[in-house]
Amino acid sequence: MLKHRARAVFLVIIAAAIGYLVYISNDAGSSHPFRLGLDLSGGSHLVFHADVSKLDPADIASSMTALRDDVERRVNTFGVSESLVQTEQGGALSSKEGAYKLIVELPGVSDPDKAAAAIGATPKLDFRIATAAQMKDYQAKLSTFTSTTTQNEAYLALFAPTQLNGTMVGRASLTFDQTTGAPQVGLTFNSDGRKLFSEITKSHVGDYVGIFLDDHLIEAPTVREEIPNGQAVISGGFDLEQAQTLVRNLNFGALPVPISLISTQTIGPSLGQAAVNGGIKAGFISFLIIALFLVIWYRLPGLVAVVALGVYSVLMLALFKLIPVTLTAAGIAGFIITIGMAVDANILIFERMKEELNRGRGTWDAMHEGFARAWLSIRDSNISSIITGFILYKFGSSSVVTGFALVFVIGVLVSMFTAITASRMFLYAVAPSKSTRLSRFLISNGFRIN
């Protein structure tokens, strides 16, 4: 008896410590808050149409996968946590290719139009040449230009195109001027670009290389000597955000499938908070009703089950942070459902205990046989639930389904531990040592004294 009580006290202390850590880690400014999905934290929901009309039908699936991966990488560079990027086919935007869509969810992003522009951005970077004489003549006429637009048009006419462009950039990186600390964009060309850049700089020493971004001149450095290593630096007077954006867009280049924005939806933080509050309220009420039922109907085992249910809830919340799990409204619903499943396992055990008592067994024998006989039923039913949850998670077509399935599977696994291990430990710790009419009543159920 003393051994069982010591183990039970130890488990309660551990659960209380975990619960306290979960509580304090969710304070404002904490580095480990619960991760909330778009429907709970607020943000932007973007839907794009993917134009696959020019693709071979056999290449559509792989191209859509590449599109999803490319956009996901772009979104990750925004610094948005818990974003979701997925593709979808359905409807009939055209009878030939169907409605291929790209769905992007950005928690915490309140400007969907800006986000959409950044997702689809494909900068046009190219390098052009102007001789020293042409530049001298241009500078003599500079005072006659009346606007920035006119000036840029003159630049476009002045600089002759080359074949060197952004598609030949192998990698762009953010650097800083060692003297001024100003942000710059470093370029490393691929093999074709390196060869062409070397030829251009070799044949145009003393001339000017115009670096144009979306047909706007960024800068026009003088060629001092041949540059054979295929590396260049664009200073261009960028601020840090502009330089970071250019680096990101140059590295990603064009999207594999053209996309156009179909719809945007902004979910305000107040709506998300209302969903969180509703989920917490539903969870508390369900826990309270279940606890009352267990204590009234199952008495001492019911009280033990309530304590085990508390342990279950604490462990689940800790796992949500540890894994971590992105909580959505569907995920919270899955959590509440698994509370009921955790209780269901306890009820199976208690009913088996009652059957053993009715057969004339003593209190301790009835508890032992009750847990042993209920285990097979609990195991089989939970395995079937886990298989169902895994299928939902693996083949679910939306974040609602996968979010629900993930929490559901975790909940089933944890409930098996609390129902079999924690409940038994607590019940052995508080069960009467002698089999009397009162002790049999305390561990039985209903309103009969066996």
Which pLDDT score, from 0 to 100, does residue 191 have? Answer: 92
- The rounded distance, in Å, linking the Cα atoms of 234 and 186 is 6
Residue 99: which CATH number? 3.30.70.3400
For residue 99, being part of any structural domain is answered with yes
* pLDDT > 80? residue 279: no
Percentage of the chain exceeding pLDDT 90: 13
* pLDDT > 60? residue 83: yes
Q: Average the pLDDT over each of 5-14, 53-62, 119-128, 372-381 and give the range with the smallest value.
A: 119-128
Which pLDDT score, from 0 to 100, does residue 93 have? Answer: 44
Q: At residue 320, what is the residue type?
A: F
Residue 432: which CATH number? 1.20.1640.10
Residue carrying structure tokens 């920035």: 148
69 and 179 belong to one structural domain = no
**Length of the chain in residues, anyone?**
450
24 and 77 belong to one structural domain = no
For residue 339, being part of any structural domain is answered with yes
Max CA distance (Å), the chain: 112
* pLDDT > 50? residue 94: no
277 and 402 belong to one structural domain = yes
Residue carrying structure tokens 């130890």: 10
**Looking at residues 274-279, what average pLDDT do you find?**
76
Rg of the chain (C-alpha set):
33
103 and 177 belong to one structural domain = no
Tell me if the pTM is above 0.85. Answer: no
For residue 450, being part of any structural domain is answered with no
CA distances from 413 to 3, 25, 129, 389 (A): 26, 24, 67, 11
Residues 370-402: pLDDT tens digits?
888 888 888 898 899 999 999 988 887 666 788
8 and 105 belong to one structural domain = no
Residue at which a domain ends, from 209, 234, 266: 266
Residue at which a domain ends, from 252, 280, 308: 252
Residues 280-334: pLDDT tens digits?
788 788 888 888 988 888 888 889 889 998 999 899 989 988 888 878 778 888 8
* pLDDT > 80? residue 74: no
H helices within 323-450, ranges in order? 329-358, 363-395, 399-417, 423-430, 437-443
Element (H, E) at 262: strand 259-267
398 and 355 belong to one structural domain = yes
For residue 155, being part of any structural domain is answered with yes
CA atoms lying within 13 Å on the CB side of residue 228: 0
301 and 438 belong to one structural domain = yes
281 and 421 belong to one structural domain = yes
* pLDDT > 70? residue 405: yes
CA distances from 52 to 55, 89, 93, 254, 323 (A): 5, 12, 11, 15, 37
Q: 159: domain range? A: 125-252
For residue 448, being part of any structural domain is answered with no
362 and 274 belong to one structural domain = yes
222 and 194 belong to one structural domain = yes
Residue at which a domain ends, from 220, 240, 266: 266
Residues 163-218: pLDDT tens digits?
898 888 888 889 998 888 889 988 899 999 999 999 999 999 999 998 888 788 88
Closest CA to 411 of 270, 290, 309: 309
For residue 327, being part of any structural domain is answered with yes
All residues at 6 or more sequence positions from 385 whose CB lies less than 8 Å from its CB, including other chains:
341, 408, 412
133 and 210 belong to one structural domain = yes
Which pLDDT score, from 0 to 100, does residue 24 have? Answer: 85
Residues 414-439: pLDDT tens digits?
988 888 888 888 888 887 777 677 77
139 and 175 belong to one structural domain = yes
Which pLDDT score, from 0 to 100, does residue 351 have? Answer: 86
* Confidence bin at 448 (pLDDT 50/70/90): low
Return the structure tokens found at 176: 């800083």
DSSP character for 34? Answer: P
For residue 305, being part of any structural domain is answered with yes
Q: At residue 39, what is the residue type?
A: D
Residue 152: which CATH number? 3.30.1360.200
Count how many domains the chain has. Answer: 3
Residue carrying structure tokens 């060197």: 164
For residue 340, being part of any structural domain is answered with yes
* Confidence bin at 148 (pLDDT 50/70/90): low
